[in-house]
A = this chain, B = another copy of it.
Amino acid sequence: MSRKEQIIKTALEMMRKLGYQGTSMREIASALQIEAASLYNHIESKEEILKETCFQLAAAFQSGIREVNDIYFNAGEKLAMAVRNHIAILTGNLDASFVFIHEWRNLSEPHLKEFIALRDAYENEFRLILEQGEEEGVFNEVNNKFAVLTILSSMNWVVEWYKPKGEMSPQEIAGKLTEFILTGLRKDKM
């Protein structure tokens, strides 16, 4: 791991606990047992940490959903795989994901606008899956914008409680979520 990667990893751990604004460069440096000034030999600025994190994750999510929309066939499969990819990225990069979800608002322009555009593009890829499901006659006609936001929120909330050593694996979480999204709580009348 390069020094830069070490710095970012340490910073993300601290930002998860204390927030972006609540984490000082001095504290990050101290955790690495160097002086604050030394950080700047490896990174440009505090914001670079946030920027790299947000954009790297956004790229991962994009490539996850593109793969799904390119390869799989029916909407049910696509949805399951999209959820699975999303949860895999979140749980595989917990600190980064937490910061991504909670702190992106601290990006300055023009990065903020760019980031929002990426997020909107991701939502749009998800929406395509729902539309396909309607065309196939397997999904209800719903307000798709609303449904996508609801689905994304329930996936993203996983970073709040997921524990790598907890009782549910990422695959199990993805499976439960997909089931919930598809069938809801109501018991089928038989």
Contact = CB atoms under 8 A, between A and B. Distances in A.
B184 A184 contact: yes
Interface stretch (A3-11, A43-51, A88-96, A154-162): A154-162
B186 A139 contact: yes
Contacts of A154: 150, 153-154
Nearest to A23: B21
A137 interface: yes
Contact of A147 (B22, B142, B180): B180
A106 B19 contact: yes
Interface string A11-35: 0000000010110000000000000
Interface residues of A, number: 38
A184 B142 CA distance: 10
Contact of A185 (B102, B139, B161, B186): B139
A165 interface: no
A150 B157 contact: yes
Contacts of A140: 183, 185-187
8 contacts: A19-B105, A21-B22, A133-B185, A137-B187, A139-B185, A149-B160, A153-B156, A154-B154
Interface of A: 19, 21-22, 79, 102, 105-106, 130, 133, 137-140, 142-143, 146-147, 149-150, 152-154, 156-157, 160-161, 168, 173, 176-177, 180-187
